[in-house]
Amino acid sequence: MRLVALVAGVVCVFTVLVDAFQTIILPRRATGPVRLTRWFYLATWTPWAFFARRIRTPRDRETAFSFYGPLSLIVLLAFWAALILFGFGLIFDAIGSPFYDVRQHLGLWSDLYLSGTAIFTMGPTDAGPVDGAARWLMVLESGTGFGFLAVIMGYFPVLYGAFSRREVTISLLDARAGSPPTAAELMRRHAHEDAHEALKTLLVEWERWSAELLESHISFPLLCYFRSQHTNQSWIGALTAILDTCALLISGVQGHEARQAQLTFAMARHAMVDLSQVVSLQPLTSTEDRLPPARYNQLYGLLCEGGVSMCRDANAEARLREMRRLYEPYAEALSAYFQMALPPWTADQPHKDNWLTVARVRAGAEIANPPAEPVMAADVRSNVIDPLYDDHHEF
């Protein structure tokens, strides 16, 4: 019986240390048959999402979802510590409980108490080891607990730094693509003259953002559960909107440099596919079509009206559908699992352009102080008004 307790205790401690090493320190996807962190999130996220989905108010529902990421991190650390404590308690019990305890008879409860005081470096006076082996085991556990705490303290700044970098770029997309971001709005706001370079620069930035997202969220998968500060923003929604835009540029838009769109699409799709594999999701193909023919015609008309040069051949819609099949099934799987809505192709409701007041002031300044060469009124409007929108997103 003691041999069983000894083996169980050693396996418990070793498994926790390996799992914590893969989750916190190892900068790559965790592998192996025993993955405590994955089991922990599978066991906790499903019931949490089940109850959070039943909250009627969208704002309160999103708040409930947002609590899970930080709270799960705290509970995961407590889970690891509890397993280490229990593992060393089993080891102490297996070697015959070589301790004294002035408050009760020796047994498993005393072993667990001594294990707890060792891992949290409490140093009690009412109990302690009585031989050399027990003393060195307690020293080993104290060192393990101290090192565990030090690693965790260094883990938090890295985690929240990666989260902050992710969210800054998502927030910058708000003024460029609406909230939630849509491919139609992004293209329309970059349809004015001389906007090609601005759009190309934006796609370069999102290519790098996708690469950073892939690296950080594979190294720290629990970042996937951290939600944006606004209800209608998310990393899944932003990534999907960029993929929509790239697919549109590649398959059906004239007059734009498609090379950068291809590079950004490849990197963003890589991130989408790999992150779905991190949480072992299969692509979903039996979901509602995000862009049915009627919606495509609406998108086509909206972009043409906004000044975007659309391809007019009969195969444009088929090419776009082919591009969408490369990433939408993975986006749908991630959306369903993390309960983060995918953005539409076009805005469901017209945006309230409250920032147009600022645009009119600037237009007045342009008229009162004309440049050396005459500028058409349409040019002034396209350069000033198009990027300025207030989308009234909720926290």
User: Is pLDDT larger for residue 150 or for residue 282?
Assistant: 282
Query: Cα 73 from chain centroid?
Result: 14
Average pLDDT (126-140) is: 79
pLDDT tens string 293-349: 999 888 888 888 888 888 778 788 899 999 999 999 999 999 999 999 999 998 876
Which residues are CB-neighbours of 94 under 8 A, at least 6 positions away? 2, 3, 5, 6, 9
Least confident of 117-131, 237-251, 300-314, 345-359: 345-359
Rg over CA atoms, the chain = 28
Closest CA to 264 of 335, 205, 347, 192: 205
197 or 327: which leads in pLDDT: 327
Pick the range with the lowest mean pLDDT from 19-28, 52-61, 223-232. 19-28
Query: Per-residue pLDDT for 98 more than 90?
Result: no
Q: Is the pLDDT of residue 46 over 90?
A: yes
- The packing angle between helices 328-338 and 235-252, to 10°, is 170
Residues 6+ apart with CB under 8 A from 368: none
pTM listed for this prediction: 0.82
As a dihedral over the C-alpha atoms of residue 87, residue 89, residue 95, residue 96, rounded to 10 degrees, the angle is -150
Section 15-24 average pLDDT: 86
Q: Mean pLDDT in the chain?
A: 83
Q: Report whether pLDDT(101) > 80.
A: no
- The CA–CA distances, whole Å, from 224 to 3, 68, 157, 236, 249 equal 41, 11, 16, 9, 28
For range 49-57, the mean pLDDT:
92
Residue written as token pair 């990666």:
162
Rounded to whole angstroms, how far apart are CA atoms 136 and 123? 14
